[in-house]
Structure 1
Amino acid sequence: MPRVKSYAIGNGDMYYIRHGSDNFTIIDCSLPDDRVGSILAEIYTQSKDKGITRFISTHPDQDHIGGLVELDDQIGIRNFYCVKNAAIKKDPTADFKRYCSLRDDSKKAFYLYKGCARRWMNETSDERGSAGLSVLWPITSDPDFKSALDDAAAGMSPNNISCILQYSVNDGPRMLWMGDLETDFMEKIEDKVNIPKVDILFAPHHGRTSGKVPKGWLEKMDPGLVVIGEAPSEYLHYYAGYNTMTQNSCGDILFETDTNKVHIYVNDDAYSVEFLDDEGRDHSGGLYYIGTLSCHQ
C-alpha cells in the first residue's frame, strides 16, 4: 500500500513517498538536531528495498534543505530533482553548498518544469512502474518565473521559484505540494497553471498567511483536506470552510493510500477531527489511526 509521510519538524518541510511501484521519493529536507538519527534511520528503512530513490527540492531555502549534507552522506543522493536556477546566498550554509553541488551536477541533477517527463518519475518501462509524479509549474519561459529566478540569483528569496508537484495514485488520491510560493505570485500565475482537483493539499509556506492559496485556486482544487504546517500560530492561515489538519497539534502525519481512500495516522493519540470516517484500523508505525478520507471520484 503506497504511503506518504509528512514530518512535524518545526519551521520546515520534509516528506517521503513510498510508492506502490519500485520508487521512493523524498521531498525537501529539514532535520532538527533532536531527530536527525531517527528520521534518517526511517528514510533508510523505508527506501532500502526500492530500486530508485529520488530527492525533490521544491526550492533552496534553509528550512527546506536543512540537513541535506547528513541526508546525502547517509543515502547517497544520485537522483536530484530541482528547478534549474542560479540561486545564491550571502552567507551560504553547508547545506546550501551541498544543494548547489547537487544542482549543478550533470550526472545527478534533473531539472523540473511544467509537463516534464522522466523515467520513472512519470514514465513506465519493463523494468519498473511510474512513481505517479507530475510537475504543474514552472513554465520556464514565463516572465514572472524569470523574474523570480533573477531575484534568487541576486541573493533574494527563492520562494517563488518553487515548483508545483502532483502525486497521483491509480484509483486513489491526488496530493499537491507547492513549496513556499507566495500569495501575490500565485495570483499572477493562476491562469497559467492547470489547477487540478486535489484530495490533499499541503499548504504552501507552512500554512503561513503570506502563502495563502488564493480563492480561485481553492475553488478549482476543491481539496478534501488541507495540511497546515508548523509556522507560529499567529502567522498561520487556517483555511476556513475546508477540512484541515494542523501539524502544530497532531505531529507527524502518515497517509496510507487505498482505492479512493486515504487512511490517516498521527503522533498525538488525543488528536481528532470530525470529517474522517472511522474504519477501525489498527495503529501503524508508532502512529495513531484517526480516520479515513474519501477521495474525489
Structure 2
Amino acid sequence: MSHVKSFAIGNGDMYYIRHGSDNFTIIDCSLPPERIGSILAEISTQSEDKGITRFVSTHPDQDHIGGLVELDDHVGLHNFYCVKNAATKKDPTADFKRYCSLRDDTTKAFYLYKDCTRRWMNQSSENRGSAGLNVLWPITSDPDFKSALADAAAGMTPNNISCILQYTVVDGPRMLWMGDLETDFMEKIEDKVDIPKVDVLFAPHHGRTSGKVPRAWLELMDPGLVVIGEAPSEYLHYYAGYNTMTQNSCGDILFVTGDKKVHIYVADNAYSVNFLDDEGLDHEDGLYYIGTLGCHER
C-alpha cells in the first residue's frame, strides 16, 4: 500500500509518494508562506521511517520550485532528480539558485531521460524494493527536446523541458505527471512517446488550456481520473468526457492504493463526485473519504 498526496497550494504543484517499499518521493515544490510549516512537518513525519528520500523536479519554473530553499534546508535533498539542462533566468530567485546548485552537484543530481534506470527508483535490491518510478520522456537526442533545452538556456520558459514521470503500483494504479508541457509541444512529440493506459492523470500545466493533453494521447491513456490543478477557472481545460477532480474545489487530495483500486480522500468535506464506488471507509489524516476508483487491468 502506498499514499500519494497532491497539495492544493494555489498556482503551483507539489506532491509526495509514501511508497509501500522503503522509499519516499517528493515531486516538485511550491510552498505558500501560510503553509510552509505544516507541509514541511508533514513531509518530515511521512518520510521519517523511509531509508531513501528523493526529490523529482519536473522543470525549474518558480511555481514548481517555490520554497526549494526551505525544503532543502529542512529535509536535506541528497537525491535530486531532474532533466539535465542549463536553464537560466534573467532575475533568478533564491529558489532557482538553489535548484541550479543541486542540479549541477554531481554527488546529488541524477539526470532523467526515457527508460533511465537506477537502484530503488525502478530497480530492487536484496534489502530494498523499487519505488515504481519510470520516465517516459525526454529522449535527449530528440531535436524538439534539444530546441526546448536551448530556449531554457537562453532564459525562455522551461515548460517544455518537463519530464513525463510514471508511477506504477503492483496490482494497483498507474499515475502520470507531465510537468508543464504545453499543448503545441506535446503535439510535436505525439508519436515519440509510448503512452500507457493511466488510472490517474495529473493534468499538465495545472490543467490550463495551454497544456491540454492531445486527443490522441488521451485515447491511449483512457484515464480513470484527471486531476485538474489550481488556476483561475477561465484558464482551465475541463477534459469533457472524462472523470475529473478540480483542486480549486476539493483542496488537498490523498490517494491510498489498494488491490486493483485507489481510495480517494479530499480536504473539503462538502466535495463529492458521482463516478467513484463507496466502500464506506473512514476518513484518514484529516481528509474526507469520497470514494474508490477501480484500476485498469494490466
Identify the TM-score tier after normalising by the shorter chain: over 0.9
Amino acid at match of 1:210: S
Deviation at 1:151, TM superposition (A): 0.0
Deviation at 1:257, TM superposition (A): 0.3
Amino acid at match of 1:272: S
Deviation at 1:178, TM superposition (A): 0.1
**2:85 corresponds to:** 85
Confirm or deny that 1:2 pairs with 2:2. yes
Distance 1:120 1:232 in 2: 38
**1:240 corresponds to:** 240
Deviation at 1:56, TM superposition (A): 0.1
**1:172 corresponds to:** 172
Classify the secondary structure of the residue corresponding to 2:11. Answer: coil
**1:217 corresponds to:** 217
Q: Number of residues paired by the alignment? A: 297
**1:69 corresponds to:** 69
Amino acid at match of 2:53: T
Deviation at 1:127, TM superposition (A): 1.8
Q: TM-score, normalised by structure 1?
A: 1.00
Deviation at 1:130, TM superposition (A): 0.1
Amino acid at match of 1:142: D
Q: Deviations 1:138-182 (Å, cap 9, x if unpaired)?
A: 000000000000000000000000000000000000000000000
Amino acid at match of 2:45: T
Deviation at 1:224, TM superposition (A): 0.1
Distance 2:268 2:56 in 1: 28
**1:110 corresponds to:** 110
Deviation at 1:248, TM superposition (A): 0.1
Distance 1:218 1:34 in 2: 36
Distance 2:180 2:156 in 1: 14
Unaligned runs of 5+ in 2: none
Q: Deviations 1:241-265 (Å, cap 9, x if unpaired)?
A: 0000000000000000001100000
Confirm or deny that 1:100 pairs with 2:96. no
Distance 1:147 1:27 in 2: 25
Q: Deviations 1:171-211 (Å, cap 9, x if unpaired)?
A: 00000000000000000001000000000000000000000
Runs of 4+ in 1 over 2 A off after TM superposition: none
Classify the secondary structure of the residue corresponding to 1:35. Answer: helix
Distance 1:197 1:79 in 2: 29
Q: Deviations 1:85-119 (Å, cap 9, x if unpaired)?
A: 00000000000000000000000000000000001
**2:198 corresponds to:** 198
Distance 1:260 1:15 in 2: 22
Distance 1:221 1:255 in 2: 19
Distance 1:55 1:232 in 2: 28
Q: Deviations 1:213-261 (Å, cap 9, x if unpaired)?
A: 0100000000000000001100000000000000000000000000110
Classify the secondary structure of the residue corresponding to 1:78. Answer: coil
Distance 1:176 1:166 in 2: 5
Amino acid at match of 2:290: I
* 1:139-158 equivalence runs, <5 A: 139-158=139-158
Distance 1:18 1:273 in 2: 25
Amino acid at match of 1:19: H
Distance 2:38 2:65 in 1: 17
Deviation at 1:70, TM superposition (A): 0.2
Deviation at 1:276, TM superposition (A): 0.2
Distance 1:268 1:50 in 2: 29
- How many percent of aligned residue pairs carry the same amino acid? 85
**1:227 corresponds to:** 227
**1:185 corresponds to:** 185
**1:25 corresponds to:** 25
* 1:246-285 equivalence runs, <5 A: 246-285=246-285
Distance 1:179 1:279 in 2: 32
**1:52 corresponds to:** 52
Unaligned runs of 5+ in 1: none
RMSD value over aligned CA atoms? 0.3
**2:43 corresponds to:** 43
Classify the secondary structure of the residue corresponding to 2:265. Answer: strand
